[in-house]
Chains A and B, each alone.
Chain A
């Protein structure tokens, strides 16, 4: 695996893609948090006419200048696209999504038109322009590493230098302005960096796929981070990982004549990391949410069992419930409530009946209608709510069905 960083042929594509992913995932965090994810899509497509035109111009220049000239061209039309969006939104009052879509298709069409014009007359230019549609890493050289490295360092330096200002501007703009933070300057700089990250990225991912590389690492990282600094760091890690994995797979997987293009493979790696995050993230992940729902269901079953026993009913416990109640010391081996079990059961019955009193007395519900709702709420009410209910209802002794309400813990009697 180490040869991906040392081998003269492999090292440029690998490091180039990783640097590009690093840059785009960092800037992506800002775009993602501003809920402007679509802007990446628009700017990358708007960069295309710049790429095509500068390929024509750059062919007249020395070969070392070529990558820089293409970057400059892409950067220029990308900024032009940004400005157009801005004008459409402010002067013509076009809705944001419409303006973004319009600029995307308009600029991209122009790029395609010019590229087609080259097809018959300058087939080399056409091939080079094609390369930027879906990206091509294999032809990268060490000069790309240097350029992308410098740009990536530039982006990191900006984020570190203005971190506090970025945080305040993007979280609470009007407050930040009253502190004297120049929010508009921060915005302009952020958009410049966005355009930069995009023009770096289109070389390996292509204009069509670039936007995904901005958003996927940011979206994955968000699920694991509760602070902005963590969000940036994790997005960078996800980005670097996607860049490496994509490159690795696109070189190692193919057998025979079958080719795995690097750009889409990088994107799929980023998307896969994102999917895994959505499934397994500790708080918001699908599986942990499923687990919490199952656990709640289990708790309800346990409490219902205790309640039924307390009321003197015969209860058939499922094995898992029985085992857990025994384990917690709420039930003894003759399936009789321990004193703790009785306390717990009384608390649930109390909450159930208190809630019924509240529904009938304060919300004017009919007594026969309230049982089902209370059946659910008895598992949910917190001690604070119990306290508030007790005070509001003057610690009632009977529920609407004239059943006694077990007394609450001492502090509710105050």
Chain B
């Protein structure tokens, strides 16, 4: 692991002893790893393994119990403009009255103060991003009229507009059509070619070796982190997806009952 990371330059995303609890239930426990730049990184693990929580805790959406996270050697607040987050598609209300172009333009809102509106330059950039995900013909469509795959493409285009160096994507392949998945994988490779790093939460094991260079295997605790070739083997997969943590879950549930005073 250390060999490869030195070969690929400095690590750009460091997670240090990160622990996150929801009430008393541990969702992430003492997770430590680092990711080198310019890689396609898969974050895999079963449901409830804490994959989304890991992303959210890293960027301050969920408050960790302890631990620290650094992006490019800085806190998230300082490195904000270099990190783009793509939430799960299901986390937003697609009936919201905005057009595809409006949604993508949100990628530029970070630099907008009060009373500021997007400029023509932003608009052009947004159209270019739409074009990259083959959604330009739909620019003026209301987002509720689009298919799941098309909606996901908009989320990706919005992240592209942020012109970040690190992309954190929560289940971008969930519930989309084959054509979109193919297109996204191609786009991700292009981005990697430009030296960007992509960390992608994923649950379909069949494509792991094809899609990713690096892998983070997570089940509340970190199981493994390293180049796919070095960490993706049966024993790790079994530890990640097996029942090994189910006693921990059971104990956590008991603790939870005591805390809430319901039982």
Give the residues in chain B near A106, CB-CB below 8 Å.
Answer: none
Across the interface, do A170 and B96 meet the contact criterion of CB distance under 8 Å? Answer: yes
Which B81-113 residues sit within 8 Å CB-CB of chain A? 83, 85, 87, 91-93, 96-99, 102-103, 106, 109-110, 112
Are B96's CB and A165's CB within 8 A? Answer: no
B5-13, B55-63, B199-207, B250-258: which lies at the interface? B55-63
For A230, list chain B residues within 8 Å (CB).
97
Q: Is A226 an interface residue (CB 8 A)?
A: yes
Q: Does any Cβ of A come within 8 Å of B3's Cβ?
A: no
B56 contacts A174, C-beta separation under 8 Å: yes
Which listed residue, B60, B87, B114, touches A162 by the CB 8 Å rule?
A: B114
Inter-subunit contact B114/A178 (CB<8 Å):
no
- Chain A residue numbers with a CB within 8 Å of B97 are 33, 222, 225-228, 230-231
Question: Please, which residues of chain B bring their CB within 8 A of the CB of A170?
Answer: 96
When A164-B116, A181-B109 are in contact, do A171 and B83 touch as well, CB less than 8 Å? no
- Across the interface, which residues of B come within 8 angstroms of A180, CB to CB? 77, 80, 110
Is there contact, CB below 8 Å, between A172 and B99? no
B61 touching A227 by the CB < 8 A rule?
A: no
Separation of A388 and B238 alpha carbons in the complex (Å): 37
Check A321 for interface membership: any CB of B closer than 8 A.
no
Chain B residues within 8 Å of A222, by CB? 97
**Once bound together, how far apart are the Cα atoms of A225 and B114, in whole Å?**
24
Report Cα–Cα, A177/B61, bound state, in Å. 7
Residue numbers in B under 8 Å from A163 (CB-CB): 117
Other-chain residue from A164, A165, A174 in contact with B61 (beta carbon distance below 8 A): A174
User: CB of A2 within 8 A of chain B?
Assistant: no
Of A172, A174, A226, which contacts B106 at CB under 8 A? A172
* Cβ proximity bits A149-184 to B, threshold 8 Å, 1 near / 0 not: 000000000001111110110111011111111000
Contact B85 A178 (CB under 8 A): yes
Chain A, interface size category, equals 20 to 34
B149 CB to nearest A CB, Å: 13
Cα–Cα, bound, A249→B56 (Å): 55
CB contacts (< 8 Å) of A226 on chain B: these are 97-99, 142
Interface hits, B225-261 → A, CB 8 Å: none
How many chain B residues touch the partner (CB < 8 A)?
29
Cβ–Cβ contact B85 & A227, under 8 A: no
A93 to chain B, nearest CB (A): 9
Interface residues of A in 300-344 (CB under 8 A from B): none
CB <8 Å contact, A171 and B98: yes
- Nearest-neighbor residue (CB-CB) of A221 within chain B: B97
Which residue of A is nearest B159, CB measured? A175
Given A171-B98, A174-B87; A161-B115 close (CB under 8 Å): yes
Verify B99–A178 contact, CB threshold 8 A: no
The 8 Å CB contact of B109, one of A160, A168, A225, is A168
Is A178 a contact partner of B59 (Cβ separation < 8 A)? yes
Bound CA span A222–B96, Å = 9
In the bound complex, do residue B102 and residue A178 qualify as a contact, i.e. CB atoms below 8 Å apart?
no
Q: Which residues of A contact B85 (CB under 8 A)?
A: 174-175, 178
| A167: contacting residue among B61, B91, B93, B98, CB under 8 A | B98
Q: Are A227 and B96 in contact (CB under 8 A)?
A: no
Contacts of B60 in A (CB 8 A): 177-178
Q: Which residues of B contact A33 (CB under 8 A)?
A: 93, 96-97
- Shortest Cβ distance from residue A234 to the other chain B in the assembled complex, whole angstroms: 10
Chain A residues lying within 8 Å of B92, measured Cβ to Cβ, are 171-172
Interface flags for A171-206 (1: CB within 8 Å of B; 0: not) read 110111111110000000000000000000000000
Whether A228 contacts B109 by the Cβ 8 Å rule is: no
In the complex, which residues 225-254 of chain A have their Cβ closer than 8 Å to any Cβ of chain B?
A: 225-228, 230-231
Distance (Å) between the CB of B64 and the closest chain A CB? 15
Question: Are A179 and B99 neighbours in the complex by a CB distance under 8 Å?
Answer: no
Flag if A179 contacts B115 (CB, 8 Å): no
- Cα distance A168–B96 when bound, in Å? 11
Q: How far is the CB of B95 from chain A (nearest CB, A)?
A: 9
Whether A179 contacts B110 in the complex (CB less than 8 A), given A222-B97, A228-B102, comes out as: yes
- B109 touching A176 by the CB < 8 A rule? yes
Q: What is the bound-complex CA distance between A22 and B103, given in angstroms?
A: 27
Minimum CB–CB distance for A171 against chain B, Å: 5
Q: Closest CB of chain B to A382's CB: distance in Å?
A: 12
- Min Cβ gap B164→A in Å is 10
Other-chain contact of A160, B103, B106, B115 (Cβ < 8 Å): B115
**Residue with the highest number of chain A CB atoms closer than 10 Å, among B91, B109, B158:** B109
Are A227 and B116 in touch, CB under 8 angstroms?
no
With A and B bound together, what is the CA distance between A179 and B162 in angstroms? Answer: 9
Expressed in whole angstroms, the Cα–Cα distance for A94 and B102 within the complex equals 36
Task: For the A-B complex with A33-B97, A171-B93 known, give 12 more contacts whose Cβ atoms are closer than 8 Å.
Answer: A162-B114, A167-B106, A168-B106, A172-B87, A172-B106, A175-B158, A176-B109, A178-B61, A178-B85, A228-B96, A228-B98, A228-B102
A selection of 15 A-B contacts at a CB cut-off of 8 Å is A33-B96, A162-B114, A163-B117, A164-B117, A171-B93, A172-B87, A172-B92, A174-B91, A175-B85, A175-B158, A176-B106, A177-B61, A178-B61, A179-B106, A180-B80
Instruction: List the 10 closest pairs (A to B, CB-CB), nearest first.
Output: A179-B110, A226-B142, A178-B85, A161-B114, A172-B92, A171-B96, A231-B97, A174-B61, A164-B109, A178-B59
